[in-house]
Structure 1
Amino acid sequence: MRTVTKVIASVAALAVVAGAVAYSQRGAIAQRMFVRGVTAAMATDPIKQLPDGLHVILCGAGSPLPDPTRAGPCVAVVAGQRLFVVDVGDGAVRKLGMMGINASRAEAVLLTHFHSDHIDGLGGFMLQHWGGGASKAPLPVHGPQGVEQVVAGFNEAYKLDSGYRIAHHGPGVMPPSGIGGVALPFQITQGGPSAVLIDTPDLKVTAFPVDHAPVEPAVGYKFVYKGRTVVISGDNKPSKRVEAEAKGADLLVHEALSPELVKIQETAALKGGRINLAHVFADIPGYHTSPTAAAAIAQAAGVKMLLLDHIVPGLPFKALEIPFVGDARSKFSGPLQVGHDGDRVSLPANSDKIETGSALRF
């Protein structure tokens, strides 16, 4: 027994010593891990690793309201090897970086409307598109009428910054021809036909009007690639148009606002004397969609999966997703997921499979 006790004591002592050594060397250990991680990240293109198909990645599942785990609205869509980004909210560029996705990889940005939370990351995205790959042409930015003003504003705001970077890094690294973005507007009217943005044998991308009054115009987007379909609602109140566009879709990415939780915020604001903020909380449910209503739309459209994004209010801990969803799951017979940054839904080409996972690396 004494021998066993001595062995245990010796092992414990060695463990303490090893722990102490590791602790004293923690900076060097962390640096070695950093080297390995950075080397692997720079050598890997996560998009090339995806199988042929249509893939949706949430680069921002949040809204203007604070949420520690969700960046501003952003949906990355990969069709084969073509990358498109729908809306670019604050923090979305950093989240894409955490996934190893370089903004220079993007073929275009598609804006649903011009609320600040959907465009306030556009300047940073343009910069990363330019500098991340020595792009020789500006970033194409599709959007309904008004997108010209938005893009011109960001180009002007970043004009001084662009000059500094060319002077510092040189035109070989930062080609002057690749600065900023170029607006590609399309005309769309409430109740009118869809606008076709891309129409090739494998990929079709269309924009359709949604009701987000008084925000006008506002659109959603539909991607069809090799037999798979994704519809992104953008911001809107419950809409028959979204239901019609999503008919039979594999995936509907729909915005969601919990009136019950927002009402709690309104009440708290009133009690705290934040009258103006209380008024905002009272207003916003009127032009958004509840999880229950989004689920009903998905069910009526025969959608295979529903992914909720643009989560309002922020959900600082996961248990809040239970009251947020409410009875939505009883309204939709398919899988329903509350969106988090990094969520990935993959739809392999010419298949009926739906695969889910996370694109975040750390």
Structure 2
Amino acid sequence: MSGLHRSSSSSKNIGNCLPSKELLDDLCSRFVLNVPEEDQQSFERILFLVEYAYWYYEDNAVENDPKLKSLSLKEFTSLLFNSCDVLRPYVTHIDDIFKDFTSYKCRVPVTGAIILDETYERCLLVKGWKGSSWSFPRGKKSKDEEDHACAIREVLEETGFDVSKLLKKEEYIEFVFRQQRVRLYIVAGVKEDTVFAPLTKKEISEIAWHRLDHLQPANNEVITHGVSGLKLYMVAPFLSSLKSWILKHPSPVARRHNKPLKALCVWNARTSLGGNGTATVENHNRKPELRTTTMESNNRKPELRTTTMESHNTKPEPRKTTMESHSTKPELGTATVESHNTKPEVDHSQDIEPADSFINFKFDKSVILQAME
């Protein structure tokens, strides 16, 4: 981080200043110290709180102060640990803690939806804010959240579309990638002129309808390219089961042979008025109703949304910190397709033990109380 400067009112280093100690202390107090005691019992829970603080910094502080530098999560974590009195004793172990946390997040169950149009010829895909790959809208489960509720929430956050009235709990496809369970509910019959626009900042850059026959890859790996060259992430493994489902559930609307072959873009961050990836413009001459996201600004403490692993007493992630680790290729598990009254047994036990950095951790409450005085 050499060559960077602390943010100050006199600084002229546009986009190159580190957050001030005052800002870091405020974020630490707001997101790490002023939370229920149960959220301070292990490093994995604390790191999720740090991640909330990071999102707030990126989505609000950086956006409102052009002098501030946009940081990676690891850079921000290191700065916060060095600045916060409660976290500073663990700075020497920050690399191991962050490595364990990253590994832990990759085991959090994920749910989402495969949204099909009225003819079942196209599905809705979203493209991440910084990446180039497309995927089904999905995200990690929150604490005590049911699978279908997580899917409804994540789809709403990433697309602005409420699938709660269309989603059927028994209609889903499920895969296990190494230790991470991914369940996608099949939501069919959505009109192509439906309004889509993400409700979270800087998470989704584009939303489009893509033809299923253009997504069929040459292999069944997690990261692949469709026949048209489209880069796909966690799409290919679901296509075979999806096509089997479509064969058993014919579309009530006849296929239109005059439909364009290319993808149909329904939302793009670059053409939105806000330019920050939120639902700010009218699409198809209608404007979606915006809801309040979990991260609120205006100097108010945001309502934290904590997440959980399915087994034991651990707990993980939020919005979509989707861990698209493009440097690894997870092993594919067996797909589970549940439809109507056919309910195959699925082993949802995770049996995850905390990493070394998490074992025997206990927050020093006296330091917390002293810091809050």
Greater strand proportion? 1
Query: What TM-score, normalized to structure 1?
Result: 0.27
Flag the structure with larger Rg.
1
Bigger relative contact order, structure 1 or 2 (CA pairs below 8 A, ≥6 apart) = 2
Greater helix proportion? 1
